Structure 1
């Protein structure tokens, strides 16, 4: 393993310091907890939006702090949920008087720690709603979809909930819209080669040279099957089949798409993948309103990618089109 770092002991602190230096005072580090970053500009009376999770998936999650986006982030150790005290501090920094909604991937440690933090916040008279994101269709069946993991679909759910908060919606309404976005956001990933944990140098899974892991999780969790590498067209077709059944349950025909690189997959490959998925969507009579291509939810230098498709209804379409600006995602205002 080769990593350009100083020491493992200061890895996260050094990373956050570099990020903050790039943001030039628009994003601030909490004086009470260095693992909490928050947006400089606040809006009294707005629902606060907290995001968070383990480090190692950059630019998630701190790359989504910004205008009409997340207000604060709770940063965990590598591949580890942020602690309850870190989440609590992020809640306090996001609180602007109308309650706080917390969004994070659906992993046991995150769920537990965000629940504990919400209970602690309630003791300080801050109303909190938690929304674990559940977009990874490979991790559980439709009948057990509340057990699904959160992967790159985090982007769309967070974007729309943050837009709702920016429009002055109540905490209850933001939570309702988040549940709607969650239900309509579907992802599946493929692993081609492992990433390594910079804290211990260990690969997060093993594959033979000619194998891929279909349905792999972002921490190296086993997928649906190990198989031989296929040409892009055949592989994307197989992935689309895993999403198509649930997509077909929605009458609306507009979708948004994210082709997410897991760390070392090249933009050339991601564009080829996008070409294939767009053709499949068109063949099924689905119109792509917007496409995001790039590294959003990564696992260090893992090779592979995920495809996320969200089926839009009118509410979600309007929220997605709200202008937003963050370090890893920018959305222009759409003029009718």
Structure 2
């Protein structure tokens, strides 16, 4: 294992310290671990808080700042943060209008954010919690019940972050987050594995002649393992996996902050169709260079044009990674006027910046 680390046990704290040293508008707490905006709390806006295992940077700590998150809770590598991290972070950034938790659909994240939601409610802090489950590759995985939460998380944090800055209340932010999730779809491919420092060896074995189609961001198995092929073929497989995804109805648990209890809601993701406008993200899983991502985007744009789907905004780069894994994900989000408005709103974070 060759990595720029000192002690394995210090990796997460030292990366937090480095980010705070590089970006004066981000502050950190190391016990329990969380990151927050230096201007927190803000009494005029809903606070957005997310988190998850480290190793996916810039998500989530790199998206703390104006126009996105107010706080982020990093767990150990590929390990959920704990409820006390979430509780302390949310309490720190809450200015009064309440807290929206943005939760990727992984069993540990869901369980711990649920506990934190209940604890915040007991402390009298208005709270909502929205689940992201946009990975079309598999219905269930090693880490989830239902679809995994992946790339749409980044787009959701940006869009809802813009709405919170504009004065949306807690219920409006939750409604917008739910809409973004139901309109977002992602698919990924891995060419290599990655190495978690604590393990000291690759997460999984894969030959030079193989790829994992539909891989998860922790290296979870996808739909199948197939022979490596051209960039155009791989891009077509990812894009078609998204575009051919049918309507998907599932039951989710959401917090009723008035009743102070969980309730079940049935939500349906409608498929993309000709005439839709989309925001797309072509994302490196850590080890894929930008030059190759543009090769992927080239083919994706061609496919969308042929299908009558209009790309109105795009991101190409590293936004949700899996340490040094060579691989790529594509995310497509159906965009209406509200989504486009807040996508284009100013943002100033380490991982995303425009309009300021």
Residue 287 of structure 2: aligned partner? 264
1:36 aligns with 2:59: no
CA–CA distance in 1 between the matches of 2:9 and 2:343?
39
CA–CA distance in 1 between the matches of 2:272 and 2:26?
40
CA–CA distance in 1 between the matches of 2:348 and 2:331?
21
Displacement after TM superposition at 1:265 (Å): 0.7
Say which SS state the counterpart of residue 73 (structure 2) adopts.
strand
CA–CA distance in 1 between the matches of 2:308 and 2:273?
13
Instruction: Evaluate the alpha carbon distance shift between residue 284 and residue 251 of structure 1 in structure 2; reply closer, same or farther with a 3 A threshold.
Output: closer
Instruction: Evaluate the alpha carbon distance shift between residue 170 and residue 251 of structure 1 in structure 2; reply closer, same or farther with a 3 A threshold.
Output: farther
Residue 203 of structure 2: aligned partner? 204
Displacement after TM superposition at 1:332 (Å): 2.2
Over residues 252-302 of structure 1, what are the superposed CA-to-partner deviations in whole Å (9 max), with x where a residue is unaligned?
Answer: 521111111011111111110010001111111222111111111111111
Unaligned runs of 5+ residues in structure 1 are none
Residue 181 of structure 1: aligned partner? 180
CA–CA distance in 2 between the matches of 1:68 and 1:312?
18
1:312 aligns with 2:310: no
Displacement after TM superposition at 1:111 (Å): 0.3
Residue 266 of structure 2: aligned partner? none
CA–CA distance in 1 between the matches of 2:19 and 2:105?
26
Displacement after TM superposition at 1:162 (Å): 1.1
Q: Which runs of 4+ in 1 moved over 2 A?
A: 245-253
C-alpha contact (below 8 Å) 1:28/1:38 kept by paired residues: yes
CA–CA distance in 1 between the matches of 2:9 and 2:235?
40
Unaligned runs of 5+ residues in structure 2 are 246-269
CA–CA distance in 2 between the matches of 1:139 and 1:151?
12
CA–CA distance in 1 between the matches of 2:196 and 2:174?
34
Say which SS state the counterpart of residue 137 (structure 1) adopts.
coil
CA–CA distance in 2 between the matches of 1:72 and 1:90?
6
CA–CA distance in 1 between the matches of 2:275 and 2:124?
40
More moved, 251-260 vs 299-308? 251-260
CA–CA distance in 1 between the matches of 2:70 and 2:83?
18
Q: Where in structure 2 are the equivalents of 1:98-137 lying within 5 Å? A: 98-137=97-136
Over residues 23-48 of structure 1, what are the superposed CA-to-partner deviations in whole Å (9 max), with x where a residue is unaligned?
Answer: 02x111137x3511110124313111
Residue 149 of structure 2: aligned partner? 150
Residue 286 of structure 1: aligned partner? 309
CA RMSD of aligned residues (A): 1.7
Residue 264 of structure 2: aligned partner? none
Say which SS state the counterpart of residue 60 (structure 1) adopts.
coil
Say which SS state the counterpart of residue 30 (structure 1) adopts.
strand
Say which SS state the counterpart of residue 296 (structure 2) adopts.
helix
Higher helix proportion, which one? Answer: 1
